[in-house]
Amino acid sequence: MEYRKLGRTDMTVSAIGFGAWAIGGAWGTVDDADSLRALHAAVEAGMNFVDTADVYGDGRSERLVARLRRERPRDTVWVATKAGRRLPKQTVEGYSHENLTAWVDRSLRNLDTDALDLLQLHCPPPGIYDRPEVFGYLDDMVRAGKLRHYGVSVETVDEALRAVRHPNVQTVQIIFNMFRLKPAEAFFPEAKARRVGVLARVPLASGLLTGKLRRDSAFEADDHRRFNREGERFDKGETFSGVPYDVGLDAVERLRGLVPAGATLAQLALRWILMFDAVSCAIPGAKTPVQARENAGAAARPPLDERTMAAVRAVYDETIRGLVHVSW
């Protein structure tokens, strides 16, 4: 496993971490025993960073991560969680001192800890970035010892650029993968200049970039890959990275030819992300030990050559850019 500094924080994190959304819900049936096995396998493979949120299974994901930490008292497992999505409707006013305090207190209980390693605002409405007092509430909670650090999870590059102008924002979580190149062009230079940690989410484009999905793949009714294809429930970009399914499948066929000997397409997708030194950690979701180990294995792969990097860019420019670049 490779480890990288998480921005200006005191955390050195595995370059591949564990995305804990799917083990909470919204990805079809999951079994807590399998999920816990996946978390243990991740740590055994060198991962020391887990990304969760208070709304993933309404606390189920946070509670599983707490169990992992209890069962591995000797291992350091940094946990990032998120707050804001418990609001019935996203409004700037909803990010009040009172609400933020209540959400943080609930996550402290779910995660069975006195202090959260990293709290991220969970894709808040963009108006938040014009409200310094909201970041002041978070500063208060850092001073009170409830938060060690805070950051934001954003939908767009524009939001990322606005977020990092708040001086105590330590991390930005953003969608970054072979189907979403804009952050590298328009945000990473700023993140590096400010030494803000970047967490690359949806690194496998919701599974598309593993190469296992097909035109006739079926998803359960409670899987967002079925119910959010057009952004019916949350931002469309969170499902398949906002790429129309058939376009994504065609692009994947072109990427298959780039997979190095002995690697899988998922590992190519993750190793490609690690080629960008602005990224501290890519956080693929995993539901099983096999997935967690395969994902961790990407960090042990050698760097990709220039020909491969150029070929990925060509696939993006020719098939994806026109569909996503302006939106996020």
Ligand X SMILES: NC(=O)c1ccc[n+]([C@@H]2O[C@H](COP(=O)([O-])OP(=O)(O)OC[C@H]3O[C@@H](n4cnc5c(N)ncnc54)[C@H](OP(=O)(O)O)[C@@H]3O)[C@@H](O)[C@H]2O)c1
Active centre residues (catalytic)? 56
Write down the least CB distance from residue 255 to ligand X, Å: 14
Q: Is 283 in the site for ligand X (CB under 6 A)?
A: yes
What do you get for the CA distance between the two ends of the chain, in Å?
31
Write down the least CB distance from residue 82 to ligand X, Å: 6
Residues in region 286-305 near ligand X by CB under 6 A: 286-287, 291, 294-295
Among the residue ranges 86-94, 111-119, 186-194, 197-205, the one whose residues contact ligand X (CB under 6 A):
197-205
Number of residues that bind ligand X (CB under 6 A): 31
Tell me the C-alpha to C-alpha distance, in Å, between residue 20 and each of 27, 82, 202, 220: 11, 11, 11, 19
Tell me the C-alpha to C-alpha distance, in Å, between residue 202 and each of 34, 61, 69, 283, 302: 21, 17, 24, 7, 22
Q: Is 11 in the site for ligand X (CB under 6 A)?
A: no
Q: Is 266 in the site for ligand X (CB under 6 A)?
A: yes
Q: How many CB atoms lie within 10 A of CB 231?
A: 12
Tell me the Cα Rg of the chain.
Answer: 18
Write down the least CB distance from residue 27 to ligand X, Å: 5
**Chain centroid offset of residue 14 CA:** 13
Q: Is 65 in the site for ligand X (CB under 6 A)?
A: no
Q: Is 204 in the site for ligand X (CB under 6 A)?
A: yes
Q: Is 171 in the site for ligand X (CB under 6 A)?
A: no
> Is-contact 265 280, C-beta < 8 A?
no
Q: Is 179 in the site for ligand X (CB under 6 A)?
A: no
Q: Is 7 in the site for ligand X (CB under 6 A)?
A: no
Q: Is 153 in the site for ligand X (CB under 6 A)?
A: yes
Query: What is the C-alpha to C-alpha distance for residues 38 and 68, in angstroms, rounded to an integer?
Result: 10
Write down the least CB distance from residue 285 to ligand X, Å: 2
Q: Is 54 in the site for ligand X (CB under 6 A)?
A: no
> Is-contact 54 103, C-beta < 8 A?
yes
Q: Which of 310, 306, 295 is nearest to 15 (CA)?
A: 295
H helices present in the chain, as ranges: 32-44, 60-71, 97-110, 132-143, 157-163, 182-186, 188-194, 224-227, 245-256, 265-274, 289-297, 306-315, 321-324
Among the residue ranges 93-101, 110-118, 158-166, 198-206, the one whose residues contact ligand X (CB under 6 A):
198-206
Write down the least CB distance from residue 291 to ligand X, Å: 4
Nearer of residues 206 and 308 to ligand X, judged by Cβ:
206
Q: CB neighbours of 59 closer than 8 A, spacing ≥ 6?
A: 106, 110
Q: Is 17 in the site for ligand X (CB under 6 A)?
A: no
- Interface residues with ligand X (CB under 6 A)? 19-22, 27-28, 51, 82, 122-123, 153, 173, 201-207, 210, 212, 238, 266, 283-287, 291, 294-295
